[in-house]
Amino acid sequence: MQAIILAAGMGRRLGEHTKNNTKCMLPINGVRLIDRTLTQLSQIHINRVVIVVGYQAQNLINYIGHRYDNQLKIEYVENPIYDKTNNIYSLALVKEQLVQDDTILLESDLIYEDSIFDMIVKNPAKNIALVAKWETWMDGTVVKIDEDYNITEFIGKKAFQYENSDSYYKTINIYKFSKDFSKQKYVPFLNAYCKALGNNEYYEQVLRIITFLNSTDVKALPIGDRKWYEIDDIQDKDIAETIFADDDDLLQKFNKRYGGYWRFPKLLDFCYLVNPFFPSQRMKDEMRANFEILLTEYPSGMHVNSLLAGKYFGVSPQNIVVGNGAAELIKSIMGKLNEKIGIICPTFEEYPNRRDTKDIVFFIPENEAYTYTADDLMNFFRNKNIQTLLLINPDNPSGNFIEKKDVFRLVEWTEKRNIRLIVDESFVDFSDNYATNSLIDDTILQKYKHLCVMKSISKSYGVPGLRLGVLASTDKEFVDFVKKDVSIWNINSFAEFYMQIFNKYSEDYYQACRKFITERKMFEKKLNTIPWLTVFPSQANYFFCKVGTPHTSTELTRRLLLEHNILIKDCNNKKNLSGKNYIRIAIRNREDNEKLIGALKTI
């Protein structure tokens, strides 16, 4: 068996990375694609490798040199008009070689795990197209297959229907052709196609015609969960470097992304915190029905969005600010507060990260669960020189919750001492008495001008992709500053429309909250069956846990990702938690929670 690698293209979309080299010279985590491919081919006893070169051909030839002479017989065929042709011409240049032996045909901009070659070589079918279940990041040739794995249809870009995408498979541009198939079918059709339509086409079009005439000639072989990626641009490079990171680097690469995990559809995210039961399907359908106009129209400015947020929460619009997520508002208020601030630790790091440490007075609970009461805070800060106190309630990551009556005691205590109180209630709707626990209420805000209430809509309402948060207060100077501090169009039309229609779905939201509380109780019971895990009570949508022997939080986080594709939060990077083996686990729906419990039991 031989291999043919098509490596003539210029890779313009990779910019500087291919300025002086072809795409297969691109390093992924320090290993060039061509080295990875040749090493993998050498492990499956390939007789020879034919590489079709073009752009920067001599650089590639010189780089490969004689390093693989003891493992592979490598030949080169040059495409002199690589900049005027597509890959059908590159393949036509090696049609004589193609008919000389059974062939693995592949493109040079791919990265894949070793088992990919094993499965295609060992499969008894003579002619195979490796395929993967279609996912949104994929581009290129798409096919449909039947129950016998025959390719029944090649789907062109114009014929692609998103509503039918569940039945689509993407060819991963690795094929196995028998010598007879190449000689009797593929090459004759290749010749005819090039003669009729020219050389600026793709070799898959030839397979499309052959399949149309006889769907049993080439079998599709789904690769299942095996890893692969096609690298066309710098973002593809970044994703590929995450997927194929070394075991020791994988977790770090995921963490530095701060989200965007929809690019990794097989990843189960128990790190980031959202409501698993809202929005309802009806609300999503209405958002979807208005997609086109929302995409093509400008959003409103702060005046209109304050009206919408006021309607959303039932407060006066002059008392509320809408942010591009709570993070934008945190940046704004922490920049304005040029004063000492009291912060409970550990906490959501975005708050202290926005201030110099010398301006923060930290309160650290002295117990294993990091719980505290309103009295603990009042006793600690009684003799501290602070002008602002921050309370996240329920707290992150501990899940600690102070009942509303005790929060009011803290409100009155801070008022007497002329201390501004910021209450971040991003998770309050997950608490048992969610319907009455919020402080975003005009009567409360009017009574306590020193009170500012922050809320992340992303978390409670399950729409982190919309980036919505609010700040409510009757401190006019403070609110007006934040409104002017953010940009004129700080939220997009989708987020604005979401606020506009929310009230129609408020009962769906309350039902989701009730469902969530039931799920939290069930999940807590299951987590408590893991003998080496201490699970602390929570009123939020996550559990703060301590990992016991024989495990550590870092080892557990790493193993869940490597062995189960599950991401949790290792709290080692939280202030005062380093080396103490705490983790935070988000609460998802029943099916996902069961998967995590199953994974923990295997560990």
Using one digit for the tens of pLDDT, what is the confidence trace for 364-379? 999 999 999 999 999 9
pLDDT at 17: 87
- Is there a single domain that holds both residue 500 and residue 574? no
* 155: pLDDT strictly greater than 90: no
C-alpha distance from residue 193 to each of 47, 54, 430, 489 (Å):
29, 22, 62, 52
- Whether 276 is covered by a domain: the verdict is no
Rounded distance, CA 603 to CA 587, Å?
19
Query: Residue 252 contacts by C-beta under 8 Å, 6 or more apart in sequence?
Result: 245
- Helix (H), strand (E) at residue 501: helix 493-501
- Is there a single domain that holds both residue 472 and residue 516? no
* 215: pLDDT strictly greater than 80: no
pLDDT at 550: 94
- Whether 126 is covered by a domain: the verdict is yes
Range of the domain at 592: 512-603
Tokens of 504: 């129609």
pLDDT at 310: 94
- Whether 277 is covered by a domain: the verdict is no
- Give me the amino acid identity at 459: K
pLDDT at 452: 98
- Is there a single domain that holds both residue 497 and residue 571? no
- Is there a single domain that holds both residue 499 and residue 516? no
* 51: pLDDT strictly greater than 80: yes
Q: Mean pLDDT score of the chain, rounded to an integer?
A: 94
- Is there a single domain that holds both residue 529 and residue 496? no
What b/e sequence results for 212-224 when a residue is b if at least 16 CB atoms lie within 10 Å of its CB, and e otherwise? eeebebbbbbebe
Average pLDDT for 408-429? 97
Beta strands in 209-358 (DSSP E): 219-222, 228-230, 268-269, 320-323, 341-344
pLDDT at 216: 78
CA atoms within 13 A on the CB side of 13: 10
- Is there a single domain that holds both residue 221 and residue 327? no
Rounded distance, CA 76 to CA 65, Å?
11
- Is there a single domain that holds both residue 403 and residue 487? yes
* 322: pLDDT strictly greater than 90: yes
Tokens of 600: 């923990």
Rounded distance, CA 557 to CA 409, Å?
39
pLDDT at 250: 87
Q: Which of 175-189, 254-268, 407-421, 558-572 has the lowest mean pLDDT?
A: 254-268
pLDDT at 35: 96
Closest among 149, 126, 124 to 224, alpha carbons compared? 149
pLDDT at 114: 92
Domain count, the chain: 3
3-class SS of residue 317 = helix
pLDDT at 19: 86
Which is more confident, 421 or 217?
Answer: 421
- Is there a single domain that holds both residue 219 and residue 310? no
pLDDT at 201: 86
C-alpha distance from residue 111 to each of 35, 100, 564 (Å):
11, 27, 21
- Whether 394 is covered by a domain: the verdict is yes
pLDDT over 70 for what percent of the chain? 100
Model confidence pLDDT, tens digit, residues 257-278:
888 888 888 899 999 999 999 9
- Helix (H), strand (E) at residue 544: strand 542-547
Closest among 599, 588, 597 to 261, alpha carbons compared? 588
Radius of gyration of the chain (CA): 29
pLDDT at 159: 83
- Whether 293 is covered by a domain: the verdict is no
- Is there a single domain that holds both residue 495 and residue 371? yes
Closest among 357, 173, 325 to 258, alpha carbons compared? 325
Closest among 450, 349, 456 to 397, alpha carbons compared? 349
Say if strands 420-424 and 451-456 run parallel, antiparallel, or are unpaired.
parallel
Model confidence pLDDT, tens digit, residues 327-362:
999 999 998 888 899 999 999 999 999 999 999 999
- Whether 341 is covered by a domain: the verdict is yes
323 pLDDT tier (thresholds 50, 70, 90): very high
- Whether 260 is covered by a domain: the verdict is no
Which is more confident, 511 or 12?
Answer: 511
CATH number of the domain that residue 101 is part of: 3.90.550.10
Model confidence pLDDT, tens digit, residues 21-49:
899 999 999 999 999 999 999 999 898 99
**For 66-111, what is the HEC assignment?**
CCCCCCCCEEEEECCCCCCCCHHHHHHCCHHHHCCCCEEEEECCEE
Q: What is the DSSP string of 451-494?
A: EEEEEEHHHHHT-GGG--EEEE-S-HHHHHHHHHHS-TT-S-HH
Query: Residue 575 contacts by C-beta under 8 Å, 6 or more apart in sequence?
Result: 345, 346, 347, 349, 352, 362
- Is there a single domain that holds both residue 474 and residue 519? no
pLDDT at 213: 86
162 pLDDT tier (thresholds 50, 70, 90): confident
Of 200, 220, 240, at which residue does a domain stop?
Answer: 240
Average pLDDT for 390-419? 97
How buried is 510 (Cβ within 10 angstroms: 0-12 exposed, 13-18 middle, 19+ buried)? middle
Whole-structure pTM value: 0.84
pLDDT at 264: 86
Rounded distance, CA 9 to CA 90, Å?
9
Which is more confident, 516 or 12?
Answer: 516
Contact 535, 521 (CB under 8 A): no
- Helix (H), strand (E) at residue 554: helix 553-564
CATH number of the domain that residue 462 is part of: 3.40.640.10
- Whether 179 is covered by a domain: the verdict is yes
Of 478, 504, 530, at which residue does a domain stop?
Answer: 504
- Is there a single domain that holds both residue 73 and residue 211? yes
Of 474, 504, 534, at which residue does a domain stop?
Answer: 504
CATH number of the domain that residue 572 is part of: 3.90.1150.10
Contact 203, 164 (CB under 8 A): no
